Amino acid sequence: MKMLQTNLHEIETATELEKMIQENENVMVCCGRMGPMCMPVYDVMEELEDERDDVKFAVMAFDNPEAAIIRNAPETNGFMGLPFTMYYKNGKVAHATSSIQNMQQVASILDEQFAEKV
């Protein structure tokens, strides 16, 4: 059941997340609630979705039991601020952030983590 009111694709199961990160080279998933720290990140992702064809954008509800795959990931250990945002490259976690991020911060992470390594 979908729990987030955004225009982004909502992942509902851990299996779906696994499939997405295996089938797409670059994936950004924001795991949060409909709260004041999460909404601005969803907004940034909606803007970027139109511009970044190289990245698959999605959200996952923090309170969805299936989101344990993100809540309990080693990369989010110690996180104490929503949302938990995961960046996956070639099926693996490339980066993770906790709490609100602005457009500049997200764009910078995408450029840094998803750039072609020569």
Partner 1 sequence: MNDTYDVMIIGAGAAGLTAGIYSSRAKLTTLILNEGAVGGQMVLTEEIANYPGVPATKGYMLANTMKQQAKSFGCKIKSNIKIARYDLEGDIKKVELEDGRSFKARSVILTPGGRPRSLNIPGEDKFKGTGISYCATCDGDFFTGKEVVVVGGGNSALEEAVALTQFATKVTIVHQFDHFQAFKHAVEEAQKNPKINFIMESELRSFYGNGKLESVDIEHLPTGKMSSLKTDGTFIFVGYQPNTETLNGLVKLNERNEIVVDTDMKTNIDGVFAAGDSIVKKYRQVTTAVADGTIAALSAARYLSEKHVKAGELLEQEA
Residue ranges binding partner 1 (CB under 8 A) = 5, 33-40, 43-44, 47, 78-82, 97-99, 102-104
CB of 76 to partner 1, least distance (A): 10
What does the alpha-carbon distance between residue 68 and residue 71 come to, in Å, rounded to a whole number?
Answer: 5
Nearer to partner 1, 72 or 104 (CB): 104
CB of 117 to partner 1, least distance (A): 26
The nearer residue to partner 1, 47 or 111, going by C-beta atoms, is: 47
Beta carbon nearer to partner 1, 39 or 94 = 39
Shortest spacing between CB 11 and partner 1, in angstroms: 20
CB of 80 or CB of 118, closer to partner 1: 80
Closest to 82 measured CA to CA, from 55, 111, 57, 60: 60
What minimum distance in Å lies between the beta carbon of 33 and partner 1?
Answer: 7
List CB contacts of 101: < 8 A, sequence separation 6 or more.
41, 44, 85, 109
